[in-house]
Amino acid sequence: MMVDYRSIITIDPRVLSGRPCVRGMRISVYDVLGYLASGMTTDEILADFPYLTREDIQACLAFAADRERSFIAVQA
Are 6 and 60 within 8 A, CB to CB? no
Q: With left for phi above 0 and alpha for psi between -120 and 50, is residue 18 left, alpha or beta?
A: left
The amino acid present at 13, given as its one-letter code, is P
pLDDT of residue 57: 97
Beta-ladder partners of 51: none
pTM for the model stands at 0.87
CATH number reported for the structural domain that contains residue 11 in this entry: 1.10.10.10
Please state the domain count of the chain: 1
Beta-ladder partners of 28: 21
User: 75 or 13: whose pLDDT is higher?
Assistant: 13
Digit-coded pLDDT (tens) for 4-29: 999 999 999 999 999 999 999 999 99
Domain range holding 41?
A: 5-75
Percentage of residues of the chain with pLDDT beyond 90: 82
Please report which confidence band the pLDDT of residue 73 belongs to, taking 50, 70 and 90 as the band edges.
low
d(CA 33, CA 13): 21
pLDDT of residue 76: 56
d(CA 31, CA 56): 12
